[in-house]
Chain A
Amino acid sequence: MKPAPTLSSAFLQPAGNALPGPLLRLREQRGTALVDMPLPTRKTENWKYSSKHLKLSDELATNLPAGSATTSAAEDGYRVVFRNGVIDPQASRLPQVDGLTVQRFADLSDDEASALAERLDNTLDANATQMARLNTARFEDGLLITLKPDAVLAEPLFVVHEVTATASGSAFPRIYVDAGRHSQLTLVEEYLSSGDQPVMVDTVTEFMVADGAQVTSIRLTAEDQNVQHIGATGVRQQRSSRFESHCVGFGGPLRRHDLQLRLEGEGAECKLNGVVVTQDKQHYDNHTCIDHIAANCNSEETYRNIAADESHAVFNGRIHIHQDAQKSNADMNNKNLLLSTGAEIDTKPELEIYADDVKCAHGATIGQLDEQSLFYLVSRGISRREANVLLTMAFINELVTQIPVEQVRDSANERLNRFFDDTFEEA
């Protein structure tokens, strides 16, 4: 048998050194562990549909140089800007709220850094997210957000990830959020790019959500067509905490997001919404995994994909109810709209259940726009294009309107309109 391809050693060359000692040591340790890491193939279960889109050529192996400031700090709102994986302090505007600290990894003391090094990667399943391990082996900077108990950040904190693709390379941004008891936070992550050279963004965001804390994570992935994006989000929830996730993704050569949640304390709740839109030859792959570990937890998941032209959208949702997680409620729903016969949608809603007193359901559909609905609209004098747009929008609007930050809603709608313009021709 042919040996499986492994990660090129070029990816394991040392990156920049502007980090405290303990983090450098962690990075080195991870790098050693990744030597000869087999690359995902069609036979790798969790990359089954996407491995063909992953192109890890050696030219991506260098970290992109930290970009220089091009914009000044925002006038209002809280904002942190990552440029090519490194925080740009000039462009950032940080909230001054009691109990909230926002630090760069580079600015941490040795003690703080060694405490962090202990905890990095703890929210993610190492076997399922090897590309996140690559991030830990390569990151050059990161953002540590700590909320003391009862600290409340009333306004959303924006983290903008920009890559400047003037040369080939990769960016490895990293965020770690530690939300103390009964704290509240809304974090918005936006992924954007400029330039046209092939680049990769390999990003990891982790959330520790303590008892009673409420965290909302909003994620907009909208880089250009030269950017491969591989993201992982890990969440661990304690007693009676609540985590909400809203992901809006636009396709690219490779788009991958792994979202892993562990409901570890009784009464924890999570709600995951996702919208994905792909066109041309784009790709998008969402993998979610919810582990119900403690009893009496609720999870609710709704993902919608729209694939046009020759694009490829993938959804893999997994709910794992552990043996002691009695009285769990889990509901997963994935609906897909296939707008063209050249496009492909693959979905796999999985349930793995080891407790008997649970209520679990999942549903998945794939289909096209309903001819009867189209006819109804057209017969009332609405143009065919307009009818298409209305029905397609209706398919995802429920999820878009739930995004709690107006700015993100607007930005998502604007991009969706562009998608409609491309996809539905004027009759």
Chain B
Amino acid sequence: MATTDKEVKELIKREYEHGFVTEIEADTFEPGLNEDVIRRLSKIKQEPEFMLEWRLKAYRRWLEMDDPTWAHVDYPRIDYNSISYYSAPKKKEDMPQSLDEVDPELLRTYEKLGIPLHEREKLAGVAVDAVFDSVSIGTTFKEQLAEAGVIFCPISEAVQKYPELVEKYLGSVVPAGDNFFAALNSAVFSDGSFVYIPKGVRCPLELSTYFRINAANTGQFERTLIVADAGSYVSYLEGCTAPMRDENQLHAAVVELVALDDAQIKYSTVQNWYPGDEHGKGGIYNFVTKRGACQGRNSKISWTQVETGSAVTWKYPSCILKGDNSVGEFYSVALTHNYQQADTGTKMIHLGKNTTSTIISKGISAGRSSNAYRGLVKFQPGAENARNFTQCDSLLIGDRCGAHTFPYIESRNKSAIVEHEATTSKVSDEQMFLCRQRGIDPEQAVSMIVNGFCKEVFKELPMEFAVEAGKLLEVSLEGSVG
């Protein structure tokens, strides 16, 4: 939306009069991306000088890059100058005032997923009572975390409060110029979470973003940084099973994990953004760079993801296994329906001795969707006795969908062992017959079979997530049979 000159001038004027605070409440940048936009963004966020420099450097790298075209997905070219790169949180008056104003279709989905009532309001973007929201849940949790010495805050806050930690680790796993979307994110990232677990601390809670504890509205360029210091442990949950109300079509997030000696990070994602309608119109583009570095000896990073949303998904949570004896894990369920497209997988880069990795990927495609696993397992010459096991299975529901596997396996160490297996199958007539015969309706039968197919991955999810994920598949598969 083009803003008139007058409005722009007014905006600038207001900024001048009232300083940063009022401005945050008021404005949205006009669409377009240039160095000035980044400078303004950085200023609004009151970032130290090094952050601005870092953003600008990323932006300059980004300018030299091209959109990646290698993924097995198809979407119209994105005009990056038609996007607004800063949008202040919405005012309460603009939000729906109660659940009565929310799309009944959305409410039915919440019902099926069994989401608690007060969470439904938050998810639907209803202006909830701030006292109820932050005091009752948030504050108690925050006290508990502070006691343990865990830092868990929005990354924009961390940039100001803990600049030395941010400067040290930000971009250390996903460098600013890593790839097209990571560079874009580095230049304009809106907000996200920062987690630091001190030495030897086992984080007393499962940390989760979005509504459960932390601030919502992280915007479309989310940036997450988790550092687990020596001997610590953290389990982090991202996303939620409920479909989120979201106005931004493009999401380019970056997640960086750093695990030092003997540290463990468990990162679980459930992603169910708007996938577009049954004709493939609309839907979110989810282009995410997620990478974890097992820096220290005996460290472990485990990715678990359940992906059912987004029109286009482009996502490869990876592990760099640098420390000796470090462990990388990737458990994934990706479900696509209607015209959804997913190109997802992982990279396991083995550098250290005795490093091991496990990849379990389950792809389910229904309708006219396309679902691809793309993975890399790489053993460098120093990866003595490294070990990888990969299994990627695909399940097809319907004869107009696609399931693809593109595994890259590269070995340069003779003592390293890699095993890769992949199968493709469909929900067989025999399985369906058996269920139908016992009086189970077809939709339930498919959901049961699919849940069985994904069991290996679900058991890796934290319990509450696992229950929701099962239901989520059921809802996502609606209308895929018959």
Contacts and interface: CB of A to CB of B under 8 A. Distances in A.
Interface in B376-421: 379, 381, 394, 396-421
B424 interface: yes
Q: Give the size category of B's interface with A.
A: 35 or more
B424 A360 contact: yes
A339 B414 contact: yes
Contact of A341 (B407, B413, B419): B413
Chain A CB count within 10 A is highest, among B70, B400, B411, for B411
Interface string A347-359: 1111111111111
Given A360-B423, A360-B424, A362-B422, A341 B415 contact: yes
Interface string A297-329: 000000000000000000000000001001000
Interface in A331-366: 336, 338-366
Nearest to A369: B414
Given A356-B396, A363-B422, A347 B409 contact: yes
Given A45-B70, A361-B423, A361-B424, A356 B399 contact: yes
A351 B402 CA distance: 10
B398 A356 contact: yes
Interface in B415-442: 415-426
B346 to A, nearest CB: 15
Interface residues of A, number: 36
A56 B97 CA distance: 70
Given A345-B410, A367-B418, A353 B399 contact: no
A154 interface: no
Interface string B43-76: 0000000000000000000001000001000000
A351 B426 contact: no
Nearest to A346: B410
Contact of B411 (A353, A362, A366): A366
A326 B396 CA distance: 12
Classify the secondary structure of B's interface with A.
strand
A317 to B, nearest CB: 11
Contact of A353 (B379, B403, B418): B403
A355 B425 CA distance: 10
B405 A354 contact: no
B399 A364 contact: no
A326 B399 contact: yes
B240 to A, nearest CB: 31
A1 interface: yes
A368 interface: yes
Contacts of B425: 358-359
Contacts of B406: 348, 350
A357 B426 contact: yes
A38 to B, nearest CB: 15
Nearest to A314: B410
A1 B418 CA distance: 36
A354 B402 contact: yes
B64 A1 contact: yes
A351 B415 contact: no
Interface in A1-55: 1, 45
A280 to B, nearest CB: 16
A352 B424 contact: no
Contact of A356 (B64, B401, B408): B401
Contacts of B398: 356
A363 B422 CA distance: 6
Contacts of B381: 341-342
Nearest to B419: A365
A355 B396 CA distance: 8
Given A346-B408, A362-B405, A368-B414, A351 B400 contact: no
A350 B404 CA distance: 7
A355 B407 contact: no
Interface in B245-285: none
A396 to B, nearest CB: 17
Contacts of A1: 64
A358 B423 CA distance: 10
Nearest to A356: B396
Contacts of B64: 1
A345 B411 contact: yes
A339 B413 CA distance: 9
B301 to A, nearest CB: 23
Contacts of B396: 353, 355-356, 358
Contacts of A349: 405, 407, 420, 422
B408 A367 contact: no
Contact of B400 (A323, A336, A357): A323
Interface in B141-173: none
A411 B406 CA distance: 36
A224 to B, nearest CB: 27
B422 A351 contact: yes
A348 B414 contact: no
B407 A348 contact: yes
B416 A353 contact: no
B418 A348 contact: no
Given A326-B399, A356-B397, A367-B417, A346 B407 contact: no
Interface string B63-106: 01000001000000000000000000000000000000000000
A46 to B, nearest CB: 12
Nearest to B423: A361
Interface string A365-388: 111100000000000000000000
Interface of B: 64, 70, 379, 381, 394, 396-426
22 contacts: A336-B411, A338-B411, A341-B381, A341-B412, A341-B414, A342-B381, A346-B408, A347-B409, A350-B406, A350-B407, A351-B404, A351-B405, A352-B404, A353-B394, A356-B401, A358-B425, A360-B423, A362-B420, A365-B420, A366-B411, A366-B417, A368-B414
Q: Which 4 A-B pairs have the closest CB atoms?
A: A356-B396, A360-B424, A351-B405, A364-B420
Interface of A: 1, 45, 323, 326, 336, 338-368
Given A338-B414, A351-B403, 16 more contacts: A1-B64, A326-B399, A338-B411, A341-B381, A348-B409, A349-B420, A350-B404, A350-B406, A352-B402, A353-B396, A356-B396, A357-B426, A358-B396, A362-B405, A364-B418, A366-B379
